[in-house]
Structure 1
Amino acid sequence: FTALSPIHELKAEYVGMTSVSLTWVVNDTASSSYTYRIEVVNGTSVRNLTSNVTKVEITELLPKTLYNFTVFAVVNDDETEGEGVSISLYTKPSPIHELKAEYVGAEKVNLTWVVNDTASSSYTYRIEVVNGTSVRNLTSNVTKVEITELLPGTMYNFMVFAVAADGQTEGEGVPISPYTKPSPIHELKAEYVGAEKVNLTWVVNDTASNPYTYRIEVVNGNSVRNLMSDVTKVEITDLIPGIQYNFTVFAVAADGQTEGEGVPISLYTRKSQLLAALFLVDILLCSSGLSLTVQGLKHNTSLTCAVVNGTSVRNLTSNVTKVEITELLPGTMYNFMVFAVAADGQTAGEGVSISLYT
């Protein structure tokens, strides 16, 4: 036989973790009688395969390993070979394992993962960051990455690929899709404070806040309950009059689980309306003025007494259920308004009034 022409257009039709499929073209008119020897080299390891057609599947390869494949055309006597044509490539790395979000913040996520391949010391990693139509790629030389410049309260799709030493051959990507934390709410305030009810309002600035819900934690001593709201306000009922409550509001992302940092507000509910439980008794005129005594107050209640005469208004306070009001004018009508005041010294119940002449 005359010398055989080399094969042409040798290429890898498929590259996997443990197998590679090669194809090629032969132009010789006598090629119908050809067979092909495929030399597989990895370091000092050499093995040979044969094929009767212009393609071959090579199996039992190591993931993420550089192989050199050389294909020779062979005539029927199995002794005459054409010049070999080579291709060098990496098998794909194995997929990473145990991908998890080690930290999730409002604008940052830290991912970690594990790689089991023996060749993993030379791996790099591509991290694909997808939010809607926005796609960007990061790289890491270690099995973790910090992803910054994210939007609060937004779902991201992160895909991590192990990359072989050629910087091109990638393993199968492994995905994780967490939500970033919402930003804390702003301007939390009590729009209304009653004896058994409080209305809270707040503001949210996140662009992704449209699908947010809100968890409101209501704490009184050891008693804790949670309410939910779909809007930036809530009415909290079934409260105890004159008691301090701690309310904390958390913005919750659309997954119903990822919460932003809570924002607290502490306040006292108002005392119950005095009219139902308190009575002004023992109105005593004396040389020094007027004495008012109130019944029906709890031990932790103080009093404020407003003394009104025309446009003149003054306020007195008392820690007991009576007050002596002095420096009054004889024969003059006064309006006295008594308010029960909670332990914060500010939150007052509805006043009860009495008008009389000295």
Structure 2
Amino acid sequence: MPDGPDARAAADGHPARPARLSAVPLPGTDRLPPPWPGEQVAVRGGEVFVRRTPWTGPVDGAAAGAPRERALYVHGLGGASTNWTDLAALLAVRFDGWALDLPGFGRSRPPARTSYSVRGHVAAVVDVLERIVAEPGEAAGRPVHLLGNSLGGLVSLFVAASRPDLVATLTLVSPAMPVYRVPGAFSRTLLLLLLPGIPALAERRLSGVTPEQQVRGMVQVCFGDPRRVPRARLDQALAEMRERAGQPWATRALTRSMRGLITSYLRVGPRNAWRLARSLRPPTLVVWGDRDRLVDPALAPRLAAAVPDARLQVLEGVGHVAMLEAPEPTARAVLALAEDAAAAAVPDQARASWPAARRRPATRRHRAVSTGAGRP
């Protein structure tokens, strides 16, 4: 199992609760939705492409009084906003959804300084979140449900730790938490990124891989059972890879983001991801496939134990991209998290409406009793 002082320290938590699954009716999955439309959005250092999945409301059409919240989806290394197409369609019963292409991926151009650090990706996500919160309409001004996969999961964890005011709930799908040995599924070319001065060589080697080879490799590595991938999704992935092959920055974005990810693993002290996990405030769901070949599934209970009051969903037979391979059970766990967060917020809202005299803080004596401290 991946190990290290920060990971071991973070493991000293409480066993995670199993994820609850919402019983809300979901749209049928017999027809695959096409990728959602999007637009370029200004962020620090340039623009990113953001797709929009509009709220549909309950399946029965009873929209009056139905919850309408907002969600942002963050893809992983080498992925794109289209990775969330199926899950976002299911979650549209409750969420207006936004899915961004991180700088240098999908249809987003590289950042102005061509830096692909985790910190740079975090800044882009924060900028998009602030824009979503400020957007007019129902749920304006409220925190957003944040979902991230792989690299996007690590980025989302940093965002939630640094800006909890923007995050209503946090869902981490096989997040790329710091590990101290490289998974066997990584290619030798990517391993070159561990050596100083080598990224250019890795870029040259990767540029020789055809789109067909990339899709085939992605399916074999990322899915627990490649047979589950619908033909239409394979065709879309191939079209995306061909489009990406025409972008002069595509290979560099992949190799430099990978190097930035590895660099983040070397961060120790209070800014280490494992230590930040212990400080997370938003209600959190950890989702993992037990056939994940890229990030060890053994990290799932460790991370869920580190995050205060987290929920854990381990999906049997699923690989690294649960939102693609098992969208319905993933959606039900995410919706249950949102439902329970909304229910927990009701007492706080009720208390805020009390007269000022009833909202006075506890006296010093009462505080001492409630915390188990001795008498003053």
Shorter-normalised TM range: under 0.3
Structure with the largest fraction of helix: 2
The alignment's TM-score, normalised by the length of structure 1, stands at: 0.18
Bigger CA radius of gyration? 1
Of structures 1 and 2, the one scoring higher in RCO (CA 8 A, sep 6+) is: 2
